[in-house]
Each structure stands twice: as C-alpha cells, then as structure tokens.
Amino acid sequence: MKHMTLPELQFLDNAQTLGADDILVVGLAKNNDTIEVVSTGLDSDLVTALTTQAGLIQADGAPDSTWRIPSPEGCAASSVVLTGLGSNDLTIDVLRQAAGSAALALNGPGRLVFAIEAKDEEHTQAIAEGALLGCHRVTKLGLSPAKTPPTIAVVGSLALPRITQAQRGAEAVWQVRDLVTMPPNMLNPSSFVEHVSALAKGTEVSIEVLEEKELEKQGYGGITAVGKGSQNPPRLMVLRYQPGSPTRHVALVGKGITFDSGGLSLKAPNAMVGMKYDMTGAAVMAAATLAAAALGSPAAITAYLCLAENMPSGSASRPNDVITILGGKTVEILNTDAEGRLVMADGLQAASATKPDLIID
C-alpha cells in the first residue's frame, strides 16, 4: 500500500497576509436565529463581509456542513470556507469536527488557513488535529497517492509537545484508516503483519510473530480454531515498546479478524458485506503502540494482535467442537460466528500472564 504523507503543519499570528494559493477557513455558528462568523486574526470589515455572504446563501452553521464562497473584496485568499459549528458552544470535539469537515470538503495542493477562534492551546490543538484528520484520502490500490495533501496553517500558537501530539495522533488514525480500507483479498493475517512491520521499521517498537505451528505448540487454541478453515493461516503479532525505567506496563489486546464470513455458522450475504472491518481492533492497537513510542510514552506497552480469517471449509471449526484455549480452559463452540471472543480469550490470557498494570481490549 502506498501511504499519503501527513501535511505540513504551520502556525500563524494572523490571517491578514494570505495569497492566491490559500483557502481561508472560518467557523459559522448559529445562536437562536442569528448566524455568527467565529474567527480569529481577521479584520472586522472582513468578518462583516463574510457574515453578510453567509446570510445571502442561507448558511445555517449546522455541524458537519461547509459552504465555499468567493473571497470578499480585500481578502487575497482564493476562496473562503465556512464550516459549521452548530450553536456557539466551542468544545474541543466541536472544533475538531468542524476543522475536519472543512479539510475533507477540500482537495488538492495549496494551503488551508484555519482562522477559527480557540480560547486556549487545547482548543487550538483540536483544530490542528481535525484539519490533519480531514486531509486523509483513501488511495487507489497499487497507485501512488492521487494528490499532494495541502499545507495546514492554523492561526494561533501551540507549544511543540502539543504540535507533536497532534501530528502523531493524526498519523495513527491515518494508519488505521489505511489498514481497514484494504480489501480482504489483499489483507489477511500474513499481509497484516507485513504492513504493520513496515510501519514499525525504524521505531523503538520490537515485533514478535507466532505462526500457526507455534500457536498450536504454545496452546493458542482460540486463534487456531478460528483460523483453521482458511487458506490464510492465523498469526499472533506482539508489539513491544520498552522505555527506560517505565512508570507502568500497559497491555493492549486487539481483535484482528481480517474477514469474517461467520465460518460454518455462515452469515447472510448482506451481513457479510463490511466484514473486512473486523480487524479494526488490531489496527487500532498497533497504531496506538507506534504513536506511544513516537511520543516517548513513559509507560511500557505490549500489544497482542490476534489475527485470523474466519472462513467455512472442510477443515473449519464446527458447532459443538470443544477446544482448549491458552491457559487450559475448555470451550464448546456453539456458533462459529462468535469467533471474536475465542481469539480475544487467547490474547487476554497471554496479556494477563505478564501481570501488566492495565489491560485494554
């Protein structure tokens, strides 16, 4: 898979020196029947002109909505985007969503200048995060990314640690999105391992992979039972991040069913569509571990990614089969479409054996 590059992130004192390659983004809120342009770093005449134009096009400031309008006289940007804030309750989530909606509505190179009012650094960070998240595009398979992402500029100031948090957080979400959008004929347990290994290359995260024979040997009966019906054998991928003198040990356990047909307890055709997303838990845990390492987390992290493909075949697990999961407990399978709890039982047992301070699944 060809991955897009995270956009450049800039911070500006104001938005009064824009150019023809810039698109200005401001917020639009509605209180009772009055619309209000929510902005920072703009002169009052421009804010008045934007408010007038918003009224002319009947923009109502609804969340998840954007309106692109020509730049008023005196504004050098190529155009202006009004992004809906709902009521004027500018929470972190509202700002992040509004910035993301604006970036998602725009495409191509250039610079997006976000001049949305933020009361403190935490709110400024939310705008930056939303803008970065909204720039993600699913790339066509086998091709280079279709377009160069725009530069993101935010009017406001942000300390370097917060800038890094915004960038690494967005990068982690991009990684998850790239994995979950891959089709199941291209993403199976083995190729999942390859993709995550490539992402971890050059980081402080070490990798251990248990293949089918080793899983059987060590007693991972849940993962092997789920994967035995597929021609793509199961895997357990373990990611480890170990800082010096860690403050605590956190274990992450993620479900990684790269496709869930239901096995012999076969899903209905319509219910099978979208079952490529059943590996999202494992993708999230992998990205979280990589982000923690990039941010220099003081906690040690071990992530257990339980990878299998749940398919029907002559070798698949059957209802009424009795299996032994890791740790020695026996389980009777009544429905092969309840595969998630089987792979997670193995992963949770493996995590518990290390006696971490916290387990998140």
Residue 346 φ/ψ, nearest 5 degrees: -65, -45
Q: Is a pLDDT exceeding 80 seen at residue 188?
A: yes
Same domain, 172 and 276: no
pTM, two decimal places: 0.93
Q: Is a pLDDT exceeding 90 seen at residue 143?
A: no
Q: What pLDDT score was predicted for residue 147?
A: 65
Distances (CA, A) of 110 to 79, 148, 152: 12, 9, 9
CA-wise closest residue to 316 among 277, 361, 264: 264
Contact 265, 335 (CB under 8 A): yes
Q: Is a pLDDT exceeding 90 seen at residue 75?
A: yes
Same domain, 240 and 168: no
Q: What pLDDT score was predicted for residue 108?
A: 77
Q: What pLDDT score was predicted for residue 146?
A: 52
Does the annotation mark 267 as catalytic?
Answer: yes
Same domain, 252 and 128: no
Domain termination site, one of 180, 210, 243: 180
Q: Is residue 4 part of a domain?
A: no
Same domain, 157 and 284: no
Same domain, 31 and 119: yes
Task: Give the count of domains, the chain.
Answer: 2
C-alpha to C-alpha distance for 139 and 142, rounded to whole angstroms:
8
| Helices 160-180, 121-134: crossing angle, 10 deg rounding | 30
Q: What is the mean pLDDT of residues 94-101?
A: 98
Token couple for 116: 């949305």
Q: What is the mean pLDDT of residues 279-303?
A: 99
Q: Which residues make Cβ contacts (< 8 Å) with residue 21, sequence separation at least 6?
A: 78, 109, 110, 111
Q: What pLDDT score was predicted for residue 31?
A: 86
Q: What is the mean pLDDT of residues 24-41?
A: 94
Tens of pLDDT, residue by residue over 340-359, are: 999 999 999 999 999 999 99
Residue 86 φ/ψ, nearest 5 degrees: 70, -140
Q: Is a pLDDT exceeding 90 seen at residue 154?
A: yes
Point out the catalytic residue in the list 267, 276, 318, 329: 267
Q: Which residues make Cβ contacts (< 8 Å) with residue 279, sequence separation at least 6?
A: 179, 180, 187, 192, 255, 256, 257, 258, 307
Q: What pLDDT score was predicted for residue 142?
A: 55
Same domain, 219 and 132: no
C-alpha to C-alpha distance for 95 and 124, rounded to whole angstroms:
9
Same domain, 147 and 199: no
> Mean of the per-residue pLDDT values for the chain?
95
Q: Is a pLDDT exceeding 60 seen at residue 311?
A: yes
C-alpha to C-alpha distance for 150 and 8, rounded to whole angstroms:
8
**Structural domain containing residue 294:** 189-360
Domain termination site, one of 157, 180, 203: 180
Point out the catalytic residue in the list 140, 147, 248, 341: 341
Same domain, 225 and 273: yes
**What is the CATH classification number for the domain harbouring 149?**
3.40.220.10
Same domain, 16 and 141: yes
Which has more pLDDT, 76 or 249?
249
Determine what percent of the chain is predicted with pLDDT higher than 70.
Answer: 97
Same domain, 119 and 252: no
Determine what percent of the chain is predicted with pLDDT higher than 90.
Answer: 91
Same domain, 204 and 175: no
Q: Is residue 257 part of a domain?
A: yes
Amino acid at residue number 205? V
